Amino acid sequence: MPDATNITRERIAAVEMRIRPFVRRTPVLRVDMADFDRPALGVDLKLECLQHSGSFKARGAFTNLLERAVPKAGVVAASGGNHGAAVAYAAMRLGHKATIFVPEVSPPAKLDRIRGYGAELIVGGARYAEALAAGESFAEKTGALQIHAFNQEETLVGQGTLGLEIEAELPELDTLLVAVGGGGLIGGIAAWFAGRIRIIAVEPEGAPTLYRAFEAGRPVDAPAEGIAADSLAPKRVGEKMFPIAEAFVERSILVSDDDIIAAQAALWDRVRIISEPGGAAAFAALLSGRYVPSEGERIAVLVCGANTNPAKF
């Protein structure tokens, strides 16, 4: 049982009430895997891709801005795109200045969304780690409040509200598949469920951050490559989420870029859901057969982001 954090069910429930006016209660869609040319199986898709700013990140962003004191210099965030968009959106809604640092790998759809929310956008560096270093330097120079994408208590607590929402909608759930980058999402959700359901992490083969951390017994550097590098490749998982994951995440499953592309295509072709690569990664584990449910298992998949160019679909 992790005891080094303040990421408790009680705190998550309190934050959920505070951010409720600012976030959507996203829908759950029941599908049959037979519709995807697989053996018949009812699966619930939690469509957090329909959240404000296009991903679950709005929950953590609003939690940070509402729970922490925001200075006159505003807020600063480093992001592959989704966290930056969420912080920009929350800052716009709450009347704060936002500066967002993103790496060159971030896709145009995410950059356009950040700019559209009125934030100052700075693009530089090949990967997230370089954008993070630039954001940290900016915070030191200006006094802006730094909002970390995953290694921050408020971020984890905010993402944990998604677990609360899923439990309210699916009280008989056995298993939840969740995509992992830095671990803020799965850490918050796992803290909420606290072992009461099976939680399975899904990661790209090119960015196995939690997989490598489980092997090492601690967060360690991992490759940061692949089709989902803009959202699921932060180099390593957060120190704050790891004890939660050790306690409450059953295991990590790796999926290939081809698996993710196939999942994106299937979600669009069969149910008209647009998802970015990171958003489709959890479904890729089920569609590819890398996760095989047991008979009678009640399973849900989190579709967590949709910031991509819809023209490709």
Residue 239 has pLDDT above 60, yes or no: yes
Pick the CATH number of 57-146 from 3.40.50.1100, 3.40.50.10330, 1.10.3720.10, 3.30.420.10: 3.40.50.1100
103-113 burial code (b ≥16 CB/10 A, e <16): bebbbebbbeb
Task: Give the rounded distance of the alpha carbon of 49 from its chain centre.
Answer: 10
Residue 229 has pLDDT above 90, yes or no: no
Strands (E), 60-152: 75-78, 98-102, 120-123, 145-146
The model's confidence at residue 232, banded by pLDDT at 50, 70 and 90, is low
CATH code of 9-55+152-312, in short, is: 3.40.50.1100
Lowest mean pLDDT among 165-169, 205-209, 247-251: 205-209
Please tell me the pTM assigned to this model: 0.94
Sorted by where each begins, the domain ranges of the chain are 9-55+152-312, 57-146
Mean pLDDT within 127-155: 92
The model's confidence at residue 2, banded by pLDDT at 50, 70 and 90, is very low
Same fold, 9-55+152-312 and 57-146: yes
- How many other C-beta atoms lie within 10 A of the C-beta of residue 37? 9
